[in-house]
Each structure stands twice: as C-alpha cells, then as structure tokens.
Amino acid sequence: MPFGEIIITLDDVSSLLHLPIMGQFPIFDRLDNNGAVSVMWKLLGVPNGAANAALQDGHGNVVLLSWLRDHYEACYENEDWEFAARAYLLHLIGCTIFVDKSVTSVSISYLALFRKLAVCGSYAWGAADLAHMYDKLGDASLAGNKQLGVFIILL
C-alpha cells in the first residue's frame, strides 16, 4: 500500500468492538460427537435424540444458527433462563467473533465457554477474536480458497 503496511492490533479490537482484551484467554477443546451431545444435554437441556438430530443437520459438531434461535425461543418461553442465556451467547459469538465461512452454523465446542455464566465476562474475548481472525486469514491465503471466515468489521 502507498502508506505502508497495516496490522490489526489488540488496541484496534478493543476500540472497534469494545471487547475486553485483558483477562483469561477463552480456551476450549474440540469435541467429538458424543462429547457434543453430552455438552448440549448439560448446558442447553437438549435431549440426546434432539442433540444428535441438530448435529446431523449441521453436518458435524456444529449446530445451525436457525436451530439455536428456535431453541433459545423455546427456553425463553419455558423460563429456562440459564439454557436460554447459553443459547443466546452461543448464537452471538457464532454470528460475530467466531463466525465461519458458512455463516449459518457455529461449533458446539464453543458452548463449553459458557459452562459457568458468571465467568464469561472475565474472558479476553478481544484477544480470542484477534487470534481467530489471524488463523482464518492464514487459511484464506492458501491457494484454492475463495472465502474469508472472519468478523469482517475488523478489516
């Protein structure tokens, strides 16, 4: 570029997205199918059969954002507030900071980050977003890739 190189920093993430950059880095493990079903039961209250069906619709250990919205509404109507809060938060990060190329699904692995709702505010979400963005930019730079799966507002 005529004005030199540009790099996105943690300060940029903090300024643009108002996400915390200090705190515990949100770490999670990738889940296999059985682990995903178990987490969906414990943290969203989804029975095993319905969890398997949702994962099958998402083609892997991901759930469709539309399924998550429907589940949130059902939890809200039944006044299952913790399940509703987790569904809402998973949907939120699936649409924003941890968006993927499909833009229609979110990994169920992120749900473990919301096991203890009181701890969520202490995570360094901005740092996690920046790390995720650079990981996805690396993927996008490979030959044959035609899409970018990041929260594009940072670019």
Place of tokens 């924003």: 96
Which tokens is 98 given?
Answer: 């941890």
pLDDT at 111 over 80: yes
- The Cα–Cα gap between 83 and 85 comes to 5
pLDDT at 77: 94
Residues 75-101: tens digit of each pLDDT: 999 999 999 999 999 999 888 888 877
Return the number of other C-beta atoms located less than 10 Å from residue 130's C-beta. Answer: 24
Q: 153 falls in which pLDDT band (50, 70, 90)?
A: low
For residue 148, pLDDT over 80 is answered with no
* Greatest Cα pair distance in the chain: 57
Least Cα distance to 135 among 88, 101, 90 occurs for: 101
pTM over 0.75: yes
128: tokens are: 């996690």
- Binned at pLDDT 50, 70 and 90, residue 74 comes out as very high
Instruction: Report, as an integer, the average pLDDT of 139-153.
Output: 68
Q: pLDDT-based confidence at 150, cuts 50/70/90? A: low
